[in-house]
Amino acid sequence: MENKSFAVIGLGRFGSSLAEQLYSLGYDVMAIDENTERVQDSIEIVTHAVQADSTDEQALKEIGIRNFDVVVVAIGADIQASILTTLILKEMGVKRIVVKAQNERHGQVLYKVGADRVVFPERDMGLRVAHNLISPNVLDF
SS3 state at 103 = coil
Q: Which stretch binds ligand ATP (CB under 6 A): 52-60, 61-69, 105-113, 125-133?
A: 52-60
Q: Of 21 and 135, which has the nearer Cβ to ligand ATP?
A: 21
Mask: binding to ligand ATP, 77-116, rule CB under 6 A, as x and -? Answer: xx--x-----------------------------------
Is residue 46 involved in binding ligand ATP (CB under 6 A)?
no
Residue count of the chain? 141
Is residue 38 involved in binding ligand ATP (CB under 6 A)?
yes
Closest CA to 60 of 40, 38, 39, 90: 90
Determine phi and psi for 105, rounding to 5 degrees.
-60, -45
Q: How far is CA 36 from the centre of its chain?
A: 18
Nearest distance, CB of residue 71 and ligand ATP, angstroms: 12
Provide the H-helix boundaries in 95-134: 104-112, 121-134
Q: Of 13 and 112, which has the nearer Cβ to ligand ATP?
A: 13
5-9 and 70-73 as β-strands: parallel, antiparallel, unpaired? parallel
Q: Which of 29, 34, 45, 46 binds ligand ATP (CB under 6 A)?
A: 34
Mask: binding to ligand ATP, 2-21, rule CB under 6 A, as x and -? Answer: -------xxxxxxx------
Closest CA to 95 of 69, 131, 122: 69
d(CA 14, CA 34): 16
Please report, as ranges, the residues that interact with ligand ATP according to CB under 6 A.
9-15, 33-35, 38, 53-55, 75-78, 81
